[in-house]
Structure formats: C-alpha cells, structure tokens
Structure 1
Amino acid sequence: MENRGSRVVTDETGADFSYRGDRLGLPREGPGSIAPPGRRVAAIFVDWALCGLIAYGLLADGQVRAANSWTLLVFLVMSVLTVGTLGRTPGKRLLGLRVIHVGGGRLTFPRAALRSVLLSLAIPALIWDRDTRGLHDKLTDAVQVRA
C-alpha cells in the first residue's frame, strides 16, 4: 500500500479523522470554532454558582435546603432568557463562548428553550458526538463556539 497521507486511510476505512467542527463547516481555530469542552464545563459551573446565589439570596430566605430546590429553576429561566435573546449565558460570556445555530446566526427562542430544558436534565449534556456536541445541542441544531 502506498503512503499517500491520512486521506487514503480515511477513504478506505470510512473513518473521518478531521478536526472538531469540520463536518459543520466551522473553522479549526479562533472565533467561530467549536468551544473546548473545559471552557464549556467551566461556564456551566459559573452559571450554576450564579443561579445558586440568586436562589439563596432572593428566593430561599437564607435557607440552604430551599435554595437548592430553587437553583435549577433559576438556572432554567436564566438559560432560556439569555441564550434565547443574547446567544450566551453570563458564564459563557465570561469565558468567551456563544451558542449559535449550526447553519449560522442566533438560535431561535423556541430552540433555546428546548435546549435549556434538555440541559437541565443533565443526561443529554453528557452524551457527546465526535464534534463534542452534547445531545441537547444536536437535538436543537445548536453548537457552542468561541466568540
């Protein structure tokens, strides 16, 4: 077998060894490229902490157990409102990320709402494809990119 590069291996085996986001038409690096998983997880933690503070300070009257109950609801509302209007949550903004439609442009409000509900269930966010898109993003034709 002649060594003609990795493309031969790709063509013969059917495997695709391209970079994350290539199948979606996104650049390899820089703005518009797929957001790294570590940044996305960090953004979720920032958002969750912010929602916990809001729930504890405004809704739970200083009771930790009640705050834990309210945090998920605050997270869901914040995610729907900020991703549906601005394309990013406060955590994503802090870490330089945004959520867009696979075809480009802003995610519509209904898609952002469905994405947020799926994300709050946690399991869809833990199932990833080769582009490291969670199931919640795949089902809503969304992708998280570097801003």
Structure 2
Amino acid sequence: MASSAQPGTGPSEEFRFPGNRLGLAEDGPGSVAGWGRRVLALLLDWLIAGLIASAVTGKPMWAGGNDYNTSHLALFFVMSAILSGLAGGTIGHRICGLRVVPVRDHQTIAAPPGLIAGVIRAFLICVVLPAVVFDRDRRGLHDLAAKTVVVRR
C-alpha cells in the first residue's frame, strides 16, 4: 500500500537545514559548522592552552596538579574569550576553517561578536554542560546565551 505524504510531516519552511532560520547557507562558506570541525577546534584550543600552562607552571602537561590544572583552565578561558569575542574565532577555529559570528534578530552579522559575548561563550564552554546541549541549528546553550553561531569560513 503506497503512503501519501501528510501535510506537516516533511521539513517545514522554517527548518529545512541547520542555520536556515538564521539566513545561513545550507553548505559551504557561511553555513553552520559541523560537529567534527567544532570538536577538533576545541581540542586544539585545549592543547594550546595546556602547552602554555605547562610553560608557565614549569610542569609537563601529563604531570597535572592543582596549579597546572587551574592555569590550564584559566588560560583556555582567557584565550577563548578574547579571541572568539574580538577576533571572531580562536586559534582552533582558524585552523579548522571556522568563525564565530553574532546573531541579532535571527540574522547573522559579519563583525566579531564582542568581548562580552566571548566571555559568556568561554565561561559556559568551561562549565561543559551548556556546550553539549544544543538546538536544531547546532547552537549550544553557550551560543544561545552569547547570541552567536559557529559557521564555516
């Protein structure tokens, strides 16, 4: 028995792909970044912050310890806040071909998000949980709170 499509069962005009509601492209530059690139960028940023913390504390990364762990997290926070807020992306974002853009009234803006948005994003990423709860536009709670979205360059 052939089934016919019922009204309302397919993708709505409002949501056809991640970023559609924000006026972003479906794929290519300016489209919402995929999870693989975003996770790789995060790991690169964490590694860079760890290397700097290792140099500052004089301890190797694998040694750990309270002073190293605190330095590592603090450096990651500062680096993420400043770079994503003022430059539109961290070192990991740049390496992975990503950028952070602000969203205002469901439209993206070409300028960097600003330092306050960077601080909000970085703080909530450091808390971890907000970064793993996301909407259908692939915006985590940290992006929603900072009114940003990560897109491909």
Q: Decide: shared fold, TM above 0.5.
A: yes
Aligned counterpart in structure 1 of residue 19 of structure 2, from 11, 18, 21: 21
Name the structure 1 match of 2:8.
Answer: 9
Matches within 5 A, 1:1-147: 3=4, 8-10=7-9, 18-58=16-56, 60-62=57-59, 64=63, 65=65, 66-102=67-103, 103-105=108-110, 106-147=112-153
Counterparts of 2:53 and 2:68, CA distance in 1: 5
Report SS of the residue matched to 1:145: strand
Task: Quickly say closer, same or farther: Cα 1:75–1:14, change in 2 above 3 A.
Answer: same
Aligned partner letter, 2:71? W
TM-superposed deviation, 1:68: 2.2
The range that moved more, 29-38 or 111-120, is 111-120
Ranges in structure 2 where 5+ consecutive residues have no aligned partner: none
Counterparts of 1:62 and 1:141, CA distance in 2: 37
CA contact (8 A) 1:10 1:17 kept: no
Counterparts of 2:125 and 2:74, CA distance in 1: 12
Report SS of the residue matched to 1:9: coil
Counterparts of 1:140 and 1:80, CA distance in 2: 11
CA contact (8 A) 2:131 2:142 kept: yes
Task: Quickly say closer, same or farther: Cα 1:91–1:127, change in 2 above 3 A.
Answer: same
TM-superposed deviation, 1:17: 5.2
**Where do 4+ consecutive residues of structure 1 move more than 4 Å?**
13-17
Please report the TM-score for the alignment, with normalisation by the length of structure 2.
0.84
Report SS of the residue matched to 2:149: strand
Aligned partner letter, 1:23? R
Higher helix proportion (structure 1 or 2) = 1
Please report the TM-score for the alignment, with normalisation by the length of structure 1.
0.87
CA RMSD of the aligned region, Å?
Answer: 2.5
Counterparts of 1:91 and 1:40, CA distance in 2: 9
CA contact (8 A) 1:48 1:75 kept: yes
Ranges in structure 1 where 5+ consecutive residues have no aligned partner: none
CA contact (8 A) 1:10 1:16 kept: no
